[in-house]
Chains A and B, each alone.
Chain A
Amino acid sequence: MEHYTMNLNLKVWRQKNATAKGGFENYSVSNISSEMSFLEMFDVLNEKLIAEGKEPIAFDHDCREGICGMCSMYINGKPHGPWQATTTCQLHMRAFKDGDTIVVEPWRANAFPVVKDLAVDRGAFDRIIQAGGFVSVNTGNAVDGNALPIEKDKADAAFYAAACIGCGACVAACKNSSAMLFLSAKVSHLALLPQGGPERRSRVVNMVAQMDKEGFGSCTNTGACEATCPKEISISNIARLNQEYLAASLVSE
């Protein structure tokens, strides 16, 4: 792999706190290595700002290996930037070239208020899980793990749905700020497994109600969520969610 260095212009959203009015600021960084990760480029920028006596840019990040779901930058009009199936922290600077201008914003959604600069509050996702995204089994109740065989394809499908990292890119990508891909991944994960069976109906109804209450928009099937998801969660989960919801509604009425 050919290494190169680049100079870049950055247009970054700055916002002091949740209530302040935000706006873009322009920055430039030089000698950025193509081997750096995108967040390491931000580290360089922040060190530069600190050296100049300015305030560094607040952004969320933690594991930096694409699994914790904390990083959340909207880069050049795409959540997590230009690479497919990649979180911001795994995006590397080889994706850019010398002289590029990169625009970086926070997730934009009413349900995800900005905390500061590029960091947003995704507590709504936790509250959706609280509404039913679990199996009600107290510790110590379990039977032997092999007591209940589960078809491999179903277990695999449940796993692929459970691969969601709760980053919120699906919401940020959606013109309606819908959380349907996130919600459907959790509903699918538990609906596909026998362990999720007993609460299948109440779960989907309660979680959808909570999603609506949080102020997420409705789904119009544009598929932007699936296209941007760093874990490639399939939009077919939304179809399953709709089936589950319909089945639950028919029974409850």
Chain B
Amino acid sequence: MLDAKIPSGPLDQKWTQYKGHCKLVNPANKRKLEVIVVGTGLAGASAAAALGELGYKVKAFCFQDSPRRAHSIAAQGGINAAKNYQNDGDSVYRLFYDTIKGGDYRAREANVHRLAEVSANIIDQCVAQGVPFAREYGGLLSNRSFGGTQVQRTFYAAGQTGQQLLIGAYQALERQVALGNVKMYTRHEMLDIVMIDGKTRGIIARDLKNGKLERHFGHAVLLCSGGYGNVFYLSTNAMGSNVTAAWKAHKKGAYFGNPCFTQIHPTCIPVSGDHQSKLTLMSESLRNDGRIWVPKKAGDTRKPNDIPEEERDYYLERRYPAFGNLVPRDVASRAAKERCDAGYGVGSSRQAVFLDYAAAIERYGKIEAGKKGLDNASSDEIIKMGKEVVKAKYGNLFDMYEKITGENPYEVPMRIYPAVHYTMGGLWVDYELMTTVPGLYALGEANFSDHGANRLGASALMQGLADGYFVIPYTIGNYLSEEIRTNAISTDHEAFVAAEKTVQERIEKLMQIKGSQSVESFHKRLGKIMWDKCGMGRNAAGLKTAISEIQALKKEFWSDVRIPGDINEMNPELDKAGRVADFIELGELMCIDALQREESCGGHFREEHQTPDGEAERHDESYMYVANWELKADSTWQLHKEPLIYDEVKPSQRSYK
């Protein structure tokens, strides 16, 4: 039976109680304890910095050439915090409730409440580091709204909040590097966990510049390696984002929780052709002011500006009047797919809907005219002023859209379509963020814990920094306090030798295949299977087909992949081959998980389980659990359920109407 180690007591006292009673490590002992951090996004950089500050000996690893480039950097819109600076009814409880509801009642109450509690500290910490959040003229912090909430609690730095938060964490990390508390390994990839006497004792890493394998000891290992959206090939993730570190942990016994819970983000730039290598998100903040529509007539090929107002279907406003264009991501994505599947899609591919700023430009223009007392402003003048306001708010996003599509979004509505963006599933962790493997932790997107079946916008940054700055510094002490008598173990230990040998053999096996098809071609084929059969809509027949197709693809990969170059040099094709091999195995597990979950919830939409008006239909009596998978043998997993118990909120059908 899985023990999530949730502290007893009332929900709003659990974290305070925990902090008051967890074991501590004294400063002299911290200096002797070594911690390995894999990944330097928001979770990893903040954890490495915070643990370095506490005096632990930290080693941090990233595959990029600098820790500042981890994919958290690409987050655009913002970070939530229960500050209630806007006096609009926000509170810790409200943020907790919104997150649980947004996750369609498939997240753990205690973890989510803790997340809401520490959210306010994150903003304070980031401001103190010099993160240049947007401010009002009075000099105080500015907020905006995001999907799935009715308050303004999102803090932001134009359209590059992730970059500013990550640079804050990166600078804190580099400060610890300068102080000698953290040693940084860039262009390194973790390829295995080393276990000694049932505990995690280190990793095998590969130096991507020369292919050399390295052994690193640690009293504990933190996986902050992000999500696995690239299993779909096309996603908004960075090209290098991968599941490999988490998958190696899974192979060493860490359970994988809710692997099928994937977030499809509603506002991305549509696919333009077969050459497409990745998809680009247009921030959810655009739904604050933009209106989403399709023509009322199926197959309408007129230019958007030629379609009169009364012939447009603002389908989100029509279906969800209470939340309108700001419904949660899963709801907005499905609604777009529904319209396109029904033949109302726009653009050359017919797989797109319009995100229109004309009304916002006019509205802002009128406000500006009012402010300036220009009662007789012409409509051209109003539109000109409105464009300036929109430019100030969203200019960089509009520029990005124009660079990619060659179209001017100030003049023509943007075309958008849903794309894979985030994975709620991940390594199962308990309240202390420890996986089922002792001494092995998972933070940020790499774990499964806080977002249930659907993540609300601006909550990923919050979770990454909460885990790294404010949770792990407490919970890791509770484990490491028992390790103060363990001296550093030599990396000549047989467990390190054996783990390195396994990694070496796998690399050699890959190189010896010498087949005819590129790694990229396999990745594309895997992505197509996943998107078609385990994407926005899933059904039993499709998932079963997908499983057999993936098994066949795996066989073909291991007998016909072609990897050029050598092992002992920089070889991006070899790096990618290892990652795609892991994605193939993960893809199979995702389909198995999606197949067993005979309900729809959040981003997981089983077509067999929907309400008469096409909304997700949960089956709480049978599926109110976290599905955790233990790897037993090749393509064989055992399911372990962690029941979800709701003491505080009463699960109901989510309604955004």
Q: Which residues of A contact B (CB under 8 A)?
A: 1, 16-17, 33, 35-37, 39-40, 43-44, 47, 49-51, 53-56, 58, 60-70, 83, 85-86, 90, 92, 94, 115-116, 119, 121-123, 125-126, 129-131, 133-146, 148-152, 155-156, 158-159, 162-163, 165-166, 189-190, 193, 195-196
In the complex the two chains form, what is the Cα distance from A191 to B65 in whole Å?
Answer: 27
Measured between beta carbons, the chain A residues less than 8 angstroms from B138 are: 149
Pairwise interchain contact B277-A37, C-beta atoms closer than 8 A: yes
Within 8 A of A (CB), among B188-213: 209-210
In the complex the two chains form, what is the Cα distance from A63 to B166 in whole Å?
Answer: 14
In the complex the two chains form, what is the Cα distance from A51 to B515 in whole Å?
Answer: 10
Residue of chain B at shortest CB distance from A44: B275
Total inter-chain residue pairs, C-beta < 8 Å: 226
A53's contact among B133, B172, B564, by CB below 8 Å, is which? B564
In the complex the two chains form, what is the Cα distance from A60 to B65 in whole Å?
Answer: 9
B214 within 8 A of A: no
Pairwise interchain contact B404-A64, C-beta atoms closer than 8 A: no
For B448-477 the 0/1 string (1 means CB < 8 A from A) is 000000000000000000000110010000
B340 within 8 A of A: no
Pairwise interchain contact B407-A64, C-beta atoms closer than 8 A: no
Identify 11 new A-B residue pairs, CB closer than 8 A, beyond the known A1-B407, A35-B275, A62-B64.
Answer: A1-B406, A17-B570, A35-B272, A35-B273, A37-B277, A43-B275, A56-B572, A63-B69, A67-B74, A134-B174, A138-B53
Distance (Å) between the CB of B519 and the closest chain A CB?
Answer: 8
Measured between beta carbons, the chain B residues less than 8 angstroms from A150 are: 135, 139
Pairwise interchain contact B128-A195, C-beta atoms closer than 8 A: yes
A139's contact among B50, B132, B518, by CB below 8 Å, is which? B50
Measured between beta carbons, the chain A residues less than 8 angstroms from B239 are: 61-64
Measured between beta carbons, the chain B residues less than 8 angstroms from A141 are: 128
Measured between beta carbons, the chain B residues less than 8 angstroms from A142 are: 121, 124-125, 127-128
Known: A90-B400, A126-B66, A135-B171. A50 touches B573 (CB 8 A): yes
Pairwise interchain contact A159-B158, C-beta atoms closer than 8 A: yes
B252 within 8 A of A: no
For B105-130 the 0/1 string (1 means CB < 8 A from A) is 00000000000000001011111111
B423 within 8 A of A: no
Measured between beta carbons, the chain A residues less than 8 angstroms from B57 are: none
Pairwise interchain contact A63-B564, C-beta atoms closer than 8 A: no
B591 within 8 A of A: no
In the complex the two chains form, what is the Cα distance from A64 to B269 in whole Å?
Answer: 13
A193's contact among B132, B186, B407, B569, by CB below 8 Å, is which? B132
Known: A143-B128, A145-B127. A64 touches B139 (CB 8 A): no
In the complex the two chains form, what is the Cα distance from A126 to B60 in whole Å?
Answer: 14
Distance (Å) between the CB of B397 and the closest chain A CB?
Answer: 11
Distance (Å) between the CB of B521 and the closest chain A CB?
Answer: 8
In the complex the two chains form, what is the Cα distance from A15 to B46 in whole Å?
Answer: 36
Residue of chain B at shortest CB distance from A194: B130
Measured between beta carbons, the chain A residues less than 8 angstroms from B133 are: 145, 155
Pairwise interchain contact B573-A56, C-beta atoms closer than 8 A: yes
Pairwise interchain contact A62-B50, C-beta atoms closer than 8 A: no
Within 8 A of A (CB), among B111-166: 121, 123-130, 132-141, 157-158, 160, 162-164
B280 within 8 A of A: yes
B581 within 8 A of A: no
Residue of chain A at shortest CB distance from B520: A47
In the complex the two chains form, what is the Cα distance from A140 to B465 in whole Å?
Answer: 12
Measured between beta carbons, the chain B residues less than 8 angstroms from A166 are: 66, 68-69
In the complex the two chains form, what is the Cα distance from A62 to B175 in whole Å?
Answer: 25
- Most B C-beta atoms less than 10 A away, residue of A68, A83, A94, A123: A68
In the complex the two chains form, what is the Cα distance from A130 to B276 in whole Å?
Answer: 38
Pairwise interchain contact A133-B171, C-beta atoms closer than 8 A: yes
Known: A1-B407, A115-B209, A149-B138. A126 touches B125 (CB 8 A): no
Distance (Å) between the CB of B577 and the closest chain A CB?
Answer: 11
In the complex the two chains form, what is the Cα distance from A129 to B518 in whole Å?
Answer: 39
Pairwise interchain contact B175-A134, C-beta atoms closer than 8 A: yes
Residue of chain A at shortest CB distance from B521: A47
B163's contact among A55, A56, A67, A196, by CB below 8 Å, is which? A67
Pairwise interchain contact A92-B403, C-beta atoms closer than 8 A: yes
B85 within 8 A of A: yes
Sample (30) of A-B pairs whose CB atoms are under 8 Å apart: A16-B569, A17-B570, A35-B273, A40-B275, A43-B520, A56-B565, A58-B570, A62-B240, A63-B239, A65-B74, A90-B403, A92-B403, A92-B406, A94-B406, A123-B65, A126-B67, A130-B175, A135-B128, A135-B130, A138-B53, A139-B46, A140-B469, A142-B127, A143-B124, A145-B133, A146-B85, A150-B139, A166-B68, A195-B130, A196-B130
Pairwise interchain contact A64-B238, C-beta atoms closer than 8 A: yes
Measured between beta carbons, the chain A residues less than 8 angstroms from B403 are: 66, 83, 86, 90, 92
B64's contact among A35, A70, A196, by CB below 8 Å, is which? A70
For B566-600 the 0/1 string (1 means CB < 8 A from A) is 00011011000000000000000000000000000
Within 8 A of A (CB), among B549-565: 562, 564-565
Pairwise interchain contact A36-B132, C-beta atoms closer than 8 A: no
Pairwise interchain contact A149-B277, C-beta atoms closer than 8 A: no
Distance (Å) between the CB of B115 and the closest chain A CB?
Answer: 16
Pairwise interchain contact B164-A162, C-beta atoms closer than 8 A: yes
In the complex the two chains form, what is the Cα distance from A129 to B133 in whole Å?
Answer: 21
Residue of chain A at shortest CB distance from B186: A123
Pairwise interchain contact B132-A162, C-beta atoms closer than 8 A: yes
Distance (Å) between the CB of A132 and the closest chain B CB?
Answer: 8
In the complex the two chains form, what is the Cα distance from A49 to B137 in whole Å?
Answer: 56
List the 9 closest pairs (A to B, CB-CB), nearest first: A149-B139, A1-B406, A134-B171, A142-B128, A142-B124, A159-B132, A130-B178, A145-B127, A116-B570
Pairwise interchain contact A68-B73, C-beta atoms closer than 8 A: yes
Measured between beta carbons, the chain A residues less than 8 angstroms from B565 are: 55-56
Pairwise interchain contact A146-B73, C-beta atoms closer than 8 A: no
Measured between beta carbons, the chain B residues less than 8 angstroms from A149 are: 135, 138-140
Measured between beta carbons, the chain A residues less than 8 angstroms from B134 are: 155, 159
Pairwise interchain contact A136-B175, C-beta atoms closer than 8 A: yes
B83 within 8 A of A: yes
Measured between beta carbons, the chain B residues less than 8 angstroms from A121 are: 65
Measured between beta carbons, the chain A residues less than 8 angstroms from B174 are: 126, 129-130, 133-134
Distance (Å) between the CB of A216 and the closest chain B CB?
Answer: 16
Within 8 A of A (CB), among B497-551: 518, 520-521
Pairwise interchain contact B238-A62, C-beta atoms closer than 8 A: yes
Within 8 A of A (CB), among B353-370: none
For B40-58 the 0/1 string (1 means CB < 8 A from A) is 0000001001100100000
Distance (Å) between the CB of B533 and the closest chain A CB?
Answer: 25
In the complex the two chains form, what is the Cα distance from A165 to B64 in whole Å?
Answer: 14
Within 8 A of A (CB), among B6-40: none
B391 within 8 A of A: no
Pairwise interchain contact B136-A152, C-beta atoms closer than 8 A: yes
Distance (Å) between the CB of B193 and the closest chain A CB?
Answer: 24
For B233-270 the 0/1 string (1 means CB < 8 A from A) is 00010111000000000000000000000000000000
Residue of chain A at shortest CB distance from B278: A64
B638 within 8 A of A: no
Known: A137-B129, A145-B127. A36 touches B406 (CB 8 A): no
For B82-99 the 0/1 string (1 means CB < 8 A from A) is 010100000000000000
- Most B C-beta atoms less than 10 A away, residue of A16, A43, A83, A131: A43
Measured between beta carbons, the chain B residues less than 8 angstroms from A39 are: 277
A40's contact among B65, B277, B399, B470, by CB below 8 Å, is which? B277
A137's contact among B128, B135, B238, by CB below 8 Å, is which? B128
A145's contact among B124, B137, B406, by CB below 8 Å, is which? B124
Residue of chain B at shortest CB distance from A85: B399
